[in-house]
Structure 1
Amino acid sequence: MLLIVRRRLGWLLRRTPADLPYYLLVFQTVVALAISPLPHRSLGAVWPHALGLALYFVITRWPWSLDALRWGHLALAILTGALAIVGIAGMGGLRLPGWIPAVVASLRGRLGDTFNPNVVAGYLALLVPITFGLLIAPRPRTRGAAVGALWGILPLMTLLAGLAVLVLSSSRAGLTAGVLGVCAVLAIRWPKVVLPILGAGAVAAAVIVRGVSLESIGEILSAGGGSVAGLAGRVEIWQRALYILQDFSFTGLGYGCFEPVVEVMYPLFLSASGTQPHAHNLLLQVGVDLGLPGLVAYLSLTGITFWLLMRSMAARGSGQRTALAGMSAALFAGLLGVQVHGILDAAVWGNKGAFIPWAVAAMAVPLYEEHRRVTEQVDDE
């Protein structure tokens, strides 16, 4: 009986390179819930992260094949289109252009002003480069013309939808991160033209932000978040986050407690009361929620993820290795977009879709393991 159970569920016991920081993050999440001054608020805010950590555990241990990884990549492209449709229907304060399909307009009537444009743009900055990577990747061999067309048409449609919503969101932080992510995919895919690509990306980013003066950069890169009084207001919020890290170094505040605690213990003077739900910086927000141990664990897991993807996308040669390299490059660029967006925002951390980056980061482990398997197989031949 035990042997049967082990054969069926043995994959759950597999080890991964990111186990240590992962388990530390899980531990700090439990600690953050235990010490939270507002338990009900933290319980309502923690479930996307709990779901993300659970997905990370399952994805990193599931026995993936190359075909399954390809379908997983396609699923992320489909998620891009779904997020674009739901996002444009639920972004508050956005006037829909006349060319938007009627089905989206009707969906908006049901959703109302549900989503902040910065939040939608943050997730699209992650998913658009991943979808673009799928679009330019070599097509897998499929049975039937219809299935083959699916791999070409569907990524193109979802990419266009994601880009359109990214532009309509008016989030320059999201646009900048998305553009740099797409440029990263191109630079990795065609390294011989990396300098022109990066130059074009830098020019595009400069055009998007319309200048980089110190007095305007905070306001420019956070369109859609007008409650922050430019760079000075953002610096003030960062200072409050640093105070929290000093006072609650080992435990953090707990999920969802930044705004009420800041109002009571570290009041803001440049922003209206009740308008700043997070630290407007991804790494600072992780530290505020989980303390310095949680921040170290997050940075370690992020670093391991990028290292695994870099190892996987460096391989060239056979068709299988090229496919793995393309998928790894797409995920690398998408996760890079999250970090770029996180310099001036924490929109992808404390919202209902916070599980999405965890699921994407988890894909780095099976990609790396499949890369090793294929490499060993080629070397043996």
Structure 2
Amino acid sequence: MNIHQFKRSAKFLLWLEPLVLLTMVYTFWFPSNYPAPYGEPIDRAQFAWLVLFVPIFMLLRFIAYGRLWSRTPLEFWLIGLIVVGWLNLQTAEGILNRQIAPYPTRGIFMLMRPLLGLALVVYLMETARAQKSMLIPLLWMLALGFAAGIIALGTTQWVTKAAAINAITDSMPRFTLRPFIDSFNPNELAGALAWLTPLLAGLMLYPWSRGKRILRGLSAAAFILLFAALFLGQSRFAITGVILGLGGIALFIVPRGLPRYTAVAGVVVIILLQAALFLNIFPPPSNQTAPATTGISARDESSFNRRFDIWRSALDIVIDHPLTGAGINTFRTGDVRRDYPVVTYDFDCPQTTGCPRVLPHAHNELLQLGADLGIPGLIIFIGWHVATAYMLWRCWRSGDQGARVVAVSVATGLLAHIVFSMGDAITLWDRFYFVHWLLIGLAAGQYVLMRLNYSDTES
């Protein structure tokens, strides 16, 4: 077998990569080494061997194209994430028979999801480069948008945040497909929807080729599903972020003139409607008791006050353990909660559940990273966001219309989630965080494609 046959065989085997990654997304969805009674029927640690496919596909890519991955400003930070995560685990397990980190680790399996994330970034980036097109990466995001919208509308545990929309959520059909699809907390789903909703809104404006313009309509349908689920869930931080994202899309990629004025007017209508719901201006349905006064509800006020206590708990961890934090995803564990209690949450419990209840995260992504990985983790987190922002800016400045649409769509999705993460969090180790890595992969793919097109033009 000569070198050309080796390359053809490697390219053929690379078509298996998306199937393996889909399998990893599914199996890594479930917890690892999680204490009862919160355990799931599947432990993702049983599927840790799937991580071995990551270097295998990199080797195949090297044989086929002569590279492990394309060079971008991201690579230092993403490799650094794995290194810092591994070192964090070592400090908890003991270096030279000395435990440096304050709490025991939950194990090396906590790095499975970040490794999956890096594999997703490389796949989308290299697919765009190999195909010399963003079509396949964007089709994956379109399919995910539809799936996320349908799942969110059909499985969310709707809670009473705005009495005026309870009649809608109470009458909506529900479905489950266990163990993968069960009921979801609306705030958890809102974090994923914050990434996807502006992205799909932007894809409505992507310059699809003549034979693929139906994808514009499908993008619009996916956006409607996503926004409906987000709006009904009433995660205020996520909705605020998405409104800002939609405003950015209206100002930067919607054509000037009447289309832009219409888009801006639509964003203003959403703002007014959300403000009315937040201030309890709309009367509740006739079968519900009206609130005594309009204005911010007692539930909202209590939620904001509690967040300050949670943030203080996370900040105390960072101050006490600046190099290691408490350890990867240990914020919720009993030892950490005992040492850094949030009295208004840990011991102020509903009668239906009793105490103690699990405080899942720090309700702020930066503080969560600091509590998990210390200041080194914060530096890595900020670093890959700055690198991504740089790539998107380059695509906006130097790319064609398609690159500009992708740049703004990804940027607004990331912005929406950043706003969400100021008062809530999908942690780096969470099952939904793969959505973030897909957006990073889109940014990297468009950046690499833009550089190739620019090089071709220069030559």
TM-score by length of 1: 0.81
Amino acid at match of 1:331: V
Change (3 A) 1:44 1:232: farther
Report how far residue 7 of structure 1 moved: 3.5
For residues 75-130 of structure 1, what are the alpha-carbon distances to aligned partners after superposition, in whole Å with 9 as ceiling and x for unaligned?
Answer: 21221110122223322246775875xxx634379878531101111111111111
- 1:360 pairs with one of 439, 442, 446: 439
Q: Distance in 1 between the 2:255 and 2:326 partners?
A: 44
Change (3 A) 1:289 1:128: same
Q: Which residue of 1 aligns with 2:307?
A: 234
For residues 126-182 of structure 1, what are the alpha-carbon distances to aligned partners after superposition, in whole Å with 9 as ceiling and x for unaligned?
Answer: 11111111112222233xxxxx35313321221111111111212122211122112
Which of 186-195 and 232-241 deviates more? 186-195
- Are 1:31 and 2:91 matched, yes or no? no
Amino acid at match of 1:138: P
Written as runs of structure 1 = structure 2, the 5 A alignment for 1:288-307 is 288-307=371-390
- 2:139 pairs with one of 50, 69, 74: 74
**Larger % of helix: which?**
1
Q: Which has the larger radius of gyration?
A: 2
Q: Which residue of 1 aligns with 2:391?
A: 308
For residues 291-311 of structure 1, what are the alpha-carbon distances to aligned partners after superposition, in whole Å with 9 as ceiling and x for unaligned?
Answer: 211110110110110111111
Q: Does structure 1 conserve the Cα–Cα contact (< 8 Å) formed by 2:155 and 2:182? A: yes
Which of 166-175 and 51-60 deviates more? 51-60
Written as runs of structure 1 = structure 2, the 5 A alignment for 1:86-101 is 86-93=151-158, 97=169, 100=172
Q: Does structure 1 conserve the Cα–Cα contact (< 8 Å) formed by 2:325 and 2:372? A: yes
- 2:368 pairs with one of 281, 285, 288: 285
Report how far residue 323 of structure 1 moved: 1.1
Q: Distance in 1 between the 2:301 and 2:358 partners?
A: 8
Q: Which residue of 1 aligns with 2:203?
A: 134
Q: Which residue of 2 aligns with 1:218?
A: none
Q: Does structure 1 conserve the Cα–Cα contact (< 8 Å) formed by 2:153 and 2:229? A: yes
Specify the SS of the correspondent of 1:77.
helix
Report how far residue 188 of structure 1 moved: 1.5
- 2:249 pairs with one of 165, 185, 191: 185
Specify the SS of the correspondent of 1:363.
helix
Q: Which residue of 2 aligns with 1:11?
A: 67
Amino acid at match of 2:176: L
Q: Which residue of 1 aligns with 2:452?
A: 373
Q: Does structure 2 conserve the Cα–Cα contact (< 8 Å) formed by 1:90 and 1:111? A: no
Q: Distance in 1 between the 2:181 and 2:301 partners?
A: 24
Number of aligned positions between the proteins: 357
Q: Does structure 2 conserve the Cα–Cα contact (< 8 Å) formed by 1:53 and 1:355? A: no
Specify the SS of the correspondent of 2:332.
helix
Amino acid at match of 2:247: C
Q: Distance in 1 between the 2:264 and 2:243 partners?
A: 10
Q: Which residue of 2 aligns with 1:164?
A: 228
For residues 274-296 of structure 1, what are the alpha-carbon distances to aligned partners after superposition, in whole Å with 9 as ceiling and x for unaligned?
Answer: 34211100111111112211110
Q: Which residue of 2 aligns with 1:251?
A: 324
Report how far residue 27 of structure 1 moved: 0.7
Q: Which residue of 1 aligns with 2:187?
A: 118
Report how far residue 314 of structure 1 moved: 2.5
Report how far residue 357 of structure 1 moved: 0.1
Change (3 A) 1:99 1:65: farther
Q: Which residue of 1 aligns with 2:274?
A: 208
TM-score by length of 2: 0.68
Written as runs of structure 1 = structure 2, the 5 A alignment for 1:35-50 is 35-36=91-92, 37-40=103-106, 46-50=111-115
Q: Which runs of 5+ in 1 are unaligned?
A: 143-147, 214-222
Change (3 A) 1:189 1:348: farther
Report how far residue 370 of structure 1 moved: 1.5
Q: Does structure 1 conserve the Cα–Cα contact (< 8 Å) formed by 2:69 and 2:122? A: no
Q: Which runs of 5+ in 2 are unaligned?
A: 7-58, 93-102, 160-165, 280-296, 347-355
Q: Distance in 1 between the 2:90 and 2:300 partners?
A: 31
Report how far residue 200 of structure 1 moved: 7.3
Larger relative contact order (Cα-Cα within 8 Å, sequence gap ≥ 6):
1
Q: Does structure 1 conserve the Cα–Cα contact (< 8 Å) formed by 2:127 and 2:136? A: no
Q: Distance in 2 between the 1:365 and 1:45 partners?
A: 25
Specify the SS of the correspondent of 2:68.
helix
Specify the SS of the correspondent of 1:12.
coil
Amino acid at match of 1:368: Y
Q: Distance in 2 between the 1:236 and 1:13 partners?
A: 43
Change (3 A) 1:322 1:233: same
Q: Distance in 2 between the 1:268 and 1:336 partners?
A: 29
Q: Distance in 1 between the 2:226 and 2:195 partners?
A: 11
Change (3 A) 1:239 1:92: same
CA-based RMSD of the aligned residues comes to 3.5
Q: Does structure 1 conserve the Cα–Cα contact (< 8 Å) formed by 2:145 and 2:196? A: yes
Written as runs of structure 1 = structure 2, the 5 A alignment for 1:271-282 is 271-272=345-346, 273-282=356-365
Q: Does structure 1 conserve the Cα–Cα contact (< 8 Å) formed by 2:369 and 2:377? A: yes
Change (3 A) 1:369 1:46: closer
Change (3 A) 1:182 1:67: farther
Report how far residue 31 of structure 1 moved: 2.2
- 1:154 pairs with one of 179, 203, 218: 218
